[in-house]
Structure formats: structure tokens, C-alpha cells
Amino acid sequence: MAGYRIIVAQSVYKDLDGIPKIDVRRIVSAIEGLAVDPRPPQSRKLSGEEKYRLRCGIYRILYEIRDTELVVFVVRARHRKDVYR
């Protein structure tokens, strides 16, 4: 099985600016893991949207999976209180 390609939105880089470096490393590692398995057991599909949520401590990563193109598009990475707004 071929791995998925990861595309990160420009807004995610801005989201990561205000996060402590230790947490950024954990988030980046989780995003890289999506290339191997875009639907890990700890991910959940969001109701009403074609997006998935991945928990990473107190932060959440929102992403879309495009199976036909083998692409994971990371949309947002923020604190859990702000990510869904």
C-alpha cells in the first residue's frame, strides 16, 4: 500500500507559532504519522463534515482525507477550546 501525501495549510503554520516547542514536536510527529495511517484508532470523524479530528494532548488536529488522490490535507492545529470555532 502506498503512503499518503501530507499537505499542510498555511494557516496551520500560524497556529503552531503560539504553541510551546515540545507540543509542536508532538503535533508534527502526529501529522507525519497520518501519511502511514490516515485513520488511526484515536482519530474521530466529525459529524456533519468530511473532516477528522486527532487528539494530541490538549491540542487537536483537523484534517481531510482524499482517498482517490492519496492525500491528507491538514486544515487546523489548535488548542481544544479554539479549534472548532
β strands within the chain, DSSP E: 5-8, 43-45, 51-56, 59-66, 71-79
- In sequence order, which ranges of 1-85 are alpha helices (DSSP H)? 10-17, 21-33
| 85 occurs within a structural domain | no
- C-alpha to C-alpha distance for 32 and 37, rounded to whole angstroms: 9
* CATH number of domain containing 33: 3.30.2310.20
Q: How far is CA 62 from CA 1, 2, 25, in A?
A: 24, 22, 17
Q: Sorting pLDDT into bands at 50, 70 and 90, what band is 48?
A: confident
Structural domain tally of the chain?
A: 1
- Give the percent of the chain with pLDDT over 90: 91
Nearest-CA neighbor of 19 among 69, 56, 52? 56
- The pLDDT score that the predictor gives to residue 1 is 52
pLDDT confidence of 61, banded at 50, 70, 90? very high
Q: pTM of the prediction?
A: 0.92
Domain residue limits at 47: 5-79
